[in-house]
């Protein structure tokens, strides 16, 4: 929303545990802007 996107597609989630108390969480996706298309 901050960048003007209407939706996120192709989302990927990854988590890596470094120790018992530290976990890195990453989320990747492609932001898209939706428009109406005339037929």
Report residue 19 CA to chain centroid gap. 25
HSE (side-chain half, CA atoms, 13 Å) at 2: 0
pLDDT at position 1 over 70: no
Rounded CA-CA distance 9/39 in Å is: 24
Q: pLDDT class for 5, splitting at 50, 70, 90?
A: very high
pLDDT confidence of residue 37? 85
Question: DSSP of 14-38, one letter per residue?
Answer: EEEE-SSS-EEEEEEEEEE------
């Amino acid at each position: 929303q901050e960048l003007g996107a209407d939706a996120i597609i192709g989302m990927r989630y990854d988590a890596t545990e470094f120790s018992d108390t530290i976990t890195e969480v990453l989320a990747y996706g492609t932001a898209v802007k939706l428009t109406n298309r005339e037929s």
